[in-house]
Amino acid sequence: MEIYINPSKDQWPAILARPETDFSRLRDSVKSILENVKKRGDRSLKEYTLTFDSVDLRELQLPQEEIFTAGDKLTEKLKDAIATARHNIEKFHSMQMPEDMVVDTMPGVKCWMKHEPIERVGLYIPGGTAPLLSTVLMLGIPARLAGCREIILCTPPGEDGSVNPAILYCASILGIEKIYMVGGAQAIAAMAYGTETIPKVDKIFGPGNQYVTHAKQLVSLENVAIDMPAGPSEVAVIADESADPSFIAADLLSQAEHGTDSQVILITIQQEIISNVKKELEIQLADLPRKDIAEGALRNSRLIYIKNQEDILELVNAYAPEHLIIQCRNYAEIGKRIRNAGSVFLGPYTPESAGDYASGTNHTLPTGGYARAYSGLGLDSFMKRISYQEISESGLTSLGATIKTMAEEEQLMAHSNAVEIRLRKLCENI
Amino acid sequence: MEIYINPSKDQWPAILARPETDFSRLRDSVKSILENVKKRGDRSLKEYTLTFDSVDLRELQLPQEEIFTAGDKLTEKLKDAIATARHNIEKFHSMQMPEDMVVDTMPGVKCWMKHEPIERVGLYIPGGTAPLLSTVLMLGIPARLAGCREIILCTPPGEDGSVNPAILYCASILGIEKIYMVGGAQAIAAMAYGTETIPKVDKIFGPGNQYVTHAKQLVSLENVAIDMPAGPSEVAVIADESADPSFIAADLLSQAEHGTDSQVILITIQQEIISNVKKELEIQLADLPRKDIAEGALRNSRLIYIKNQEDILELVNAYAPEHLIIQCRNYAEIGKRIRNAGSVFLGPYTPESAGDYASGTNHTLPTGGYARAYSGLGLDSFMKRISYQEISESGLTSLGATIKTMAEEEQLMAHSNAVEIRLRKLCENI
């Protein structure tokens, strides 16, 4: 843990610097996976699954039966929790349904926008020991609400060749029926290019390791859209003397347990909190199953005392954290002044884990300072906007000269002619 | 011109295939420009400007005086046209101002979204013989309406070391005061990394040649957002027997004059139109100043007869054209069924050039089939969304078990603890 007491502003960039992810050592292997899947399709997917997941698959696609009976293997308690989370996520995301808008920008010049779902989307759910069921909800619910016609899901099989039933259950309640047992860069390639079994999609969503992230980057330069650039997860906590150090420590640890590369930052206006939080971290850390990971992340954590609130706001807006927890007496006021952050958690009883799972907001958020320019996932991430216009005869008569003048200034005579030829026709008809 | 009469569906992909852009031959030079600008800043920008634009700049930044007096060099006619276009573009884009939304997903669990402008945006305007003044309006107006704090503009100087006054005038009326005379990949690098003179921005917008496009791709993998992937411009026209062949030809030519790599497609339900349009193309082509370019593009154009309307819709939605012009009797009905397109132009008196310049819609649109997943530029391209939540004591009491159950299923105990430690505190307080 690095502790900074009133660092000067010129120190901030160094203190808040994020580790740069260097993909160069992965590049060749990711590229060769992409090319191989593009050329050899299903065969290469099965080979990679044998190599990386030690599973010899006969079929890439999971049988429907297995998806629809997955719930039988879950406790009622877990199914109830999933139902509550689903309810809240649906409520928050359905509020985001965009409205088509229309305006006459001039008499006779009618312009509007129509929103359409992206037709084919691919959701990636990483494997590993823990089943990321919450991510199935966070991606699948807005995809369904947006009205995407085809929603497919790729996830690597476990060592026993099966997929965790909690993942399958979440998919099944959302009506996601096309699930493929393939992970890593090869899954991204399959969804980007399509194979004999796996359909090509228009946009790929979901988290993953560095191979997955880099594969998403590379295919996004070709022919498919991706949700957003992804990096290690982050939290910043702003606290004043009203904050409970045990709450702060718990929030920092819940970020730290994600991975040793997680970013964990506390910024406080009261210097004493730092030592109290440190004590609490030690106590709470002792019992964590993922203690080693959390300890690794905490080694890079920053505990910063800054003596005035204006500077704290400036620092946080410059850092643009993925998650921002505000545990201050005046949290509402500070919250209003946040300009750059993925998601903001206000007040003592709003832990980040609420947003990670069940309050309703999306947990797919911009990391690495991307919150300066990107939004978290929303319903609009699964839709696109088409602009329309219809110009009447009189509308073109009014607007024609403007178009012609500008087109001619840009030396694009054919653009001008497309108006001129119509105006001439209108004169003939008079 | 390739003519296809009722091609079978399995031929469609080949007929509608877009040429792949191969950036590999540019990669090394673009990369070296990016690295050089990152390391050497302004000095390298001046060197590149001398090499590529043959101008030896003393200052990269244009004097304010020159920006604010640029209007003196313009005709009143052009200024009037710019004013009309500005009015319409402002009207269409201000309608898009998003509303912050709030909902209690459960009692005591309040979630909302706040929209914030992206603070620092960079607009790129290409050089060349024709001044792309319309692009200054299409990028600058939504940036201004969104409330971006810092808007900078980069454009290469002409041979005489100056910038076209029409570009400067459009910038000046929008209050864009930081204009830098630098173009190409080096301008993109300057805005992505920042130099002594040019501030780093959060998002880069604007068209450009392949060097600019590839530079935008590469910096988007690092630390800056970009508007969208860019490729050669495209138009598809759907026509029936009610369409005027001279209008169709004019619309096809106004796309063809953009560049020899422009994509120009006519799909018609009436076979005769094809020969009539061909005749009209020859007539209108003869007088065009950019005849050679248009001829080049027309060589790759496709004129397709398809005998039923359902198939036409299927083909167009599969192709996802940047611009789609519908000159059919039932254009309104067809328009409603378009699912993939950048911008749609309905009816005989709605040429694409209206949207390129002055009707109000944005002319920055997804090409290359990206309309399947991307929207054209809008006000939201200059803003981002931040999600918020505030949970009351009773809210966490209701939701706590759900969060804990899901977190524990994902084996993230610290996430569960962040709830547990708060619930315990609430019990103590009772």
A263: CATH:
3.40.50.1980
Do B236 and B140 fall into the same domain? Answer: no
**Collapsing DSSP states into helix, strand and coil, what is residue A207?**
coil
Q: How confident is the model at residue A267 (pLDDT cuts 50, 70, 90)?
A: very high
| Partners of residue B95 in chain A, C-beta under 8 Å | 101, 103
A362-389 pLDDT tens trace? 999 999 999 999 999 999 999 999 999 9
Do A179 and A39 fall into the same domain? Answer: yes
CB pair distance less than 8 Å for A78 and B405: yes
Residue A19 placed within a domain: no
CB pair distance less than 8 Å for A359 and B105: yes
Mean pLDDT (chain B) is 95
Neighbours of B18 (CB within 10 A): 15
One-letter amino acid of A90: E
Do A213 and A241 fall into the same domain? Answer: no
| Partners of residue B93 in chain A, C-beta under 8 Å | none
Residue B194 placed within a domain: yes
Give percent above pLDDT 90 in chain B: 92
Do A126 and A78 fall into the same domain? Answer: yes
Report pLDDT for B142.
Answer: 98
Tokens of B189: 């690098």
* Helix B393-409 vs helix A76-94: crossing angle, to nearest 10: 120
* CA-based nearest residue in chain B for residue A385: B375
One-letter amino acid of A98: P
Residue A374 placed within a domain: no
Do B82 and B130 fall into the same domain? Answer: yes
A45/A161 Cα distance (integer angstroms): 14
Residue A390 placed within a domain: no
CB pair distance less than 8 Å for B84 and A399: yes
Name every residue whose Cβ is closer than 8 Å to that of residue B18 and which is 6 or more positions away in sequence. B231, B232, B234, B263, B368, B369
Report pLDDT for B19.
Answer: 77
CB pair distance less than 8 Å for A289 and B421: no
Q: Write down the catalytic residue from A234, A280, A322, A352.
A: A322
Do A322 and A409 fall into the same domain? Answer: no
Mean pLDDT (chain A) is 95
From the centroid of its chain, how far is CA A124?
A: 12
Report pTM.
Answer: 0.96
A310-364 pLDDT tens trace? 999 999 999 999 999 999 999 999 999 999 999 999 999 999 999 999 999 999 9
CB pair distance less than 8 Å for B353 and A80: no
Residue A383 placed within a domain: no
A38/A29 Cα distance (integer angstroms): 14
Complex prediction ipTM: 0.96
From the list A386, A387, A390, the residue with the least C-alpha distance to A119 is: A386
Higher pLDDT pick, A22 / A406: A406
Total length of chain A: 430
Above 80 in pLDDT, residue A427? yes
Q: Which domain holds residue A196?
A: 24-226
Q: Is A175 left (phi over 0), alpha (psi -120 to 50) or beta?
A: left
Neighbours of A241 (CB within 10 A): 12
Do B405 and B281 fall into the same domain? Answer: no
| Partners of residue B106 in chain A, C-beta under 8 Å | 84, 87-88
Above 90 in pLDDT, residue A426? yes
> Among A371-385, A416-430, B383-397, where is mean pLDDT lowest?
A416-430
Indicate the number of domains in chain B.
Answer: 3
Above 90 in pLDDT, residue B24? no
One-letter amino acid of B36: N
Do A51 and A178 fall into the same domain? Answer: yes
One-letter amino acid of B12: W
Report pLDDT for A308.
Answer: 93
Do A73 and A175 fall into the same domain? Answer: yes
- Inter-chain CB pairs, A–B, below 8 Å: 415
Residue B204 placed within a domain: yes
Q: Would you name the residues of B annotated as active-site residues?
A: 322-323
From the list A428, A417, A342, the residue with the least C-alpha distance to A393 is: A428
| Partners of residue B250 in chain A, C-beta under 8 Å | 414, 417-418, 421-422
Pick the last residue of a domain from B226, B247, B265: B226
Total length of chain B: 430
Do A188 and A253 fall into the same domain? Answer: no
Give percent above pLDDT 70 in chain B: 100
Residue A9 placed within a domain: no
Report pLDDT for B113.
Answer: 97
B215-259 pLDDT tens trace? 999 999 888 999 998 889 999 999 999 999 999 999 999 999 998
Do B238 and B217 fall into the same domain? Answer: no
Tokens of B107: 């009692």
CA distance, residue A176 to nearest chain B CA (Å): 20
Do B294 and B194 fall into the same domain? Answer: no
φ/ψ of residue A197, rounded to 5: -100, -40
Above 90 in pLDDT, residue A112? yes
Mean pLDDT of B162-185: 97
